[in-house]
Amino acid sequence: MRHFYLIVDTETTKRGTVADFGAVVMTKQGQIVEQFGAMVHGHFGKLPLFSDPSADPAAFWSEQSAQRRAKNYDDMLESGERSISSVGLINQWLAGIQARYNPALTAYNIAFDLGKCRNTRINLGIFNSRFCLMKAAKRQIGALAEYHEFCNTHGFLTAKLRNPSMTADTMAKFIYGLDLPDEPHTALEDARDYEAPILTKILESVTRKQLLELGR
C-alpha cells in the first residue's frame, strides 16, 4: 500500500488566525505530488501579521519585520507567485486531498498549526491520522551524534542553554548543507523546501507506524 503525507504550514496574524496557508502532499520517497499556497481572504491584509513588540528591531519577528514581510507578500501577489483564497476554497482543496490520498497529516509543531487553522475555520479535522513532525525530528534526527556535532561546529545552539537547535531551518541545513538559505517563513516554501526534506530523511529509517509513534 502506498502511503502519503500532508505537510501543512501557516503564517499568522496578531489575532491568531492564518494569513498565509501552505501545504504539500508527498510520498515516502519525498516526491511532491500536490502543493497549495495562498493568502487567506479576510485575514491577510485586513489583520496585521504576527509580531513580537518586545523583539529587537532587527529580529525576524519584530514589528519592523512584519512590515517588510507584508510588503514581500504584496510583491508575491503582484507577481502571481501567490493568490488570495477563501477559507471555503482551501477546505475544498483539503477535502479533495483527503479523498484522493488519505494522507497522514503533519506540521512542524502541529499543535500550533491546528490551533491557528481552527481559529480560521480551516478544516484539518477531516484527517484521521496525524503526528507532529517536530517531535519526530527531535527524536530521530536530533538524537544523532552527527547532528549534535553539526550544531556545535556551526553554532546552531539555543541562546540560554546552548543546546543544539531543533528548528526546521537547522534540521534542513543539516540535511542539505550550509548553502541552504535561511527559512523564509512563507508557508508553502517552508513546507515544501524545509519540512518535506526533514520528513523524507526520517522516513529513510522508520516505518509509517514507527513515525506516527515518534510524532505522538
Side chain identity at residue 10, one-letter code: T
Residue 160, pLDDT score: 85
Average pLDDT of the residues in 199-216:
96
Average pLDDT of the residues in 76-88:
96
- Interhelix angle for 168-176 vs 145-154, to 10°? 100
**174-193: per-residue pLDDT in tens?**
999 999 999 999 999 999 99
Q: How confident is the model at residue 159 (pLDDT cuts 50, 70, 90)?
A: confident
Q: Are 113 and 134 in contact (CB under 8 A)?
A: no
- CA–CA separation, 80 vs 195, rounded Å? 24
Average pLDDT of the residues in 102-128:
98
Residue 212, pLDDT score: 94
Q: How confident is the model at residue 106 (pLDDT cuts 50, 70, 90)?
A: very high
CA 176, 179, 184, 186 torsion-angle sign:
negative
| Residue 138 pLDDT exceeds 90 | yes
Domain boundaries, the chain: 4-214
- CA–CA separation, 42 vs 49, rounded Å? 13
Whole-model pTM: value is: 0.96
Residue 96, pLDDT score: 98
Average pLDDT of the residues in 141-164:
95
Q: Which CATH number fits domain 4-214: 3.10.20.30, 3.40.50.410, 3.30.930.10, 3.30.420.10?
A: 3.30.420.10
